[in-house]
Amino acid sequence: MEERGARGRVARLTIAREEKLNALDPETIAALTAAARALHDDAALRAVVLTGAGERAFIGGADIGTMIGLDADGAQAFITSLHEAIAAVRAIPVPVIARVNGYCLGAGLEVAAGCDLRVASARAMFGMPEVKVGMPSVIEAALLPRLVGVGHTAELVLLGENIDAARALAIGLVEKVVPPDELDAAVDAWVDAIVTAGPQAVRLQKALMREWERLPLDEAIRAGIASYRVSVAGGEPARMLAEFTARRRK
């Protein structure tokens, strides 16, 4: 956990299996789930950065050694646990930034899709190769059409081919691509923007974005009206608008 002074905490979650390209085995999945859930009730938390150890991989996928030994029941339990880990990341009430520093494949791309923002090294590679080894892409692969559209999703999950960071940026899979030595600075710039904003507003905005995912348009708009009322009732807009006006007068 990083401290960012009076503005609150910024957490950093690192998948640390560098020798295995940070592939997700049951122990790592359980650790990610526990770490993400531990952040859900942290009132001082402002942002989370999720990344992989080392320079070669964000998350290289699900652990192959684990998958080879699975029967049907074990496969269902394994993929359900992976879904629960990503769901725990998605449920963190503040923005989660994926810092993509290398290979981001299969389960790794699903984890990245479960984050709110994605910034990638120019050396990063992305892909959903499951069909090439006899499996469909499942669970949070369902987020991909919302990110990149149906056609680009089909390209990823039906062809199973990797794409580079430039292509990922072009199709909207990531929001930013930077040279490898600028990755941390890019993450820091986003974190600074988040912690400068109103903490209640950011949390309400993320919650509202989740509502937008599931609600019809008319209901989504009504949810926004309710969110705005909560915001004003909390006093944050009045305080921050007054501060903004005071700065303008100087």
Active site residues: 110, 130
**Angle value at C-alpha 67, between 64 and 84, nearest 5 degrees:** 105
Cβ pair 50, 98 in contact under 8 A? yes
Distance in angstroms (rounded) separating the CA atoms of residues 160 and 155 = 7
- Alpha helices for 63-164 (secondary structure H): 64-68, 72-90, 107-114, 144-159
**Angle value at C-alpha 31, between 178 and 77, nearest 5 degrees:** 105
Cβ pair 157, 130 in contact under 8 A? yes
CA 217 to chain centroid, in Å, comes to 24
Q: Reading across the β-sheet that carries 163-164, which strands appear in turn?
A: 57-59, 103-105, 125-127, 163-164
